[in-house]
Amino acid sequence: MAITVEATIAVGSAPRGVACDEIVDKTFVANEGPSTVSVIHSVSNTVSATISVGPSPFGAACAETAGKTFVANNETVSVIHSVSNTVSATISVGGTVFGLDCDETAGKTFVTNYSSNSVSVIHIASNTVSATVEVGSSPYDIACDETAGKTFVVNTAVDTVSVIHSASNTVSATISVGTDPYGVACDETAGKTFVTNFADDTISVIHTSSNTVSATISVGLSLSK
Amino acid sequence: MANWGDNTVSVIHTTSNTISATVGVGSNPYAISCDETLEKVFVVNGTSNTVSVISGYNGC
């Protein structure tokens, strides 16, 4: 079957983050312009609801087992009850936030504080900040590998990735990658973590277990994530 | 992986570290999320205010 675009869905202005919850068949899109989240019914490709969140939402991540979707706003995180599409809590974090990801095994959501060079750790069950971890300069995107128990943080200003031991909230390694890294994603099955380098138009492939760069891939123009 | 500057998404074969396909989407794709159960990929297009839904790919 060919890879095709089967639908194009209108959402709010300046959409930034997106996260799928496969249990409720919803895809949540953070719209930075109107400070809303568009909820897409993933089966029918239609917008089923629009939720007001905090100012300038950017990243989004679903904790499917907990039934919560976390949205990174400017200095706060909105917690959406994924079934009812309502905001159940608003959590203050440290500075301008962009990326976040959930480790449901550890019961934690990790949030990058871009302006304060740290990561806030949210306890998913209680919606409270349980720890703050110092990382490199200008942390942007973040991704959890639940199998390895590691969380990877892209430090955009210093071209590195901080590896957080998810259980203990400590930085266990710092890895040099390409120039102006922004996005990161983990393939837990392959044991690889992929980092997009915006200025290089490359991807650094990190061997997740050893925290080393095993390959660099050249791709298209101006990578995002 | 979203290619912000040329409005495409590259599909990377994660075992071989090679690009296996490139798909045109909307303007300035920012972020991607996969629904592995439905085998769909949702791509946020940052300046066209849309989401592209990619199908026909069985593995995120």
Distance CA A180, CA A44 (A): 37
Percent of chain A with pLDDT over 70: 97
Give the pLDDT confidence score for residue A225 in this predicted structure. Answer: 46
CA distance A222 to B59: 24
Compute the distance between CA of residue A142 and CA of residue A155 in angstroms, rounded to an integer.
9
CB contact under 8 A, A217 and B49: no
User: Using one digit for the tens of pLDDT, what is the confidence trace for A173-206?
Assistant: 999 999 999 999 999 999 999 999 988 889 999 9
- How high is the pLDDT of residue A116? 94
pLDDT in the model for residue A223: 54
Q: Cβ of A221 and B3 within 8 Å?
A: yes
Residue contact B42–A217, C-beta within 8 A: no
| Closest Cβ–Cβ partner in B17, B18, B54 for A5 | B54
What does pTM read for this prediction? 0.94
Contact at CB, A40 and B10, closer than 8 angstroms: no
pLDDT higher than threshold 80 for residue A163: yes
- Provide ipTM, 2 decimals: 0.91
- Nearest CB among B18, B46, B53 relative to A45 is that of B53
Q: What is the mean pLDDT of chain A?
A: 95
Query: What does the pLDDT read at residue A190?
Result: 94
Can you list the domains of chain A with their CATH numbers?
11-98 (2.110.10.10), 135-225 (2.40.10.500)
Asked if pLDDT for residue A222 goes beyond 70, the answer is no
**Do the Cβ atoms of A40 and A62 come closer than 8 Å?**
no
Partner-chain contact B44 A17, CB within 8 Å: yes
How far, in Å, CA of A60 to CA of A68, rounded?
A: 11
State whether A220 and B8 contact (CB < 8 Å).
yes
Edge-to-edge order in the sheet of strand A118-123: A60-63, A68-72, A74-81, A86-103, A108-113, A118-123, A128-134
- Mean pLDDT for A118-124 is 98
A-B contacts at Cβ under 8 angstroms: 155
What whole-number distance in Å separates Cα of residue A173 and Cα of residue A211? 7
- Residue of chain A whose alpha carbon sits nearest to that of B8: A220
Facing residue for A225 by CB, picked from B1, B36, B54:
B1
With beta carbons under 8 A apart, name residues in chain B contacting A7. Answer: 52-53
Reported as a single tens digit per residue, the pLDDT across B11-60 is 888 888 888 888 888 888 889 999 999 999 999 999 999 999 999 876 55
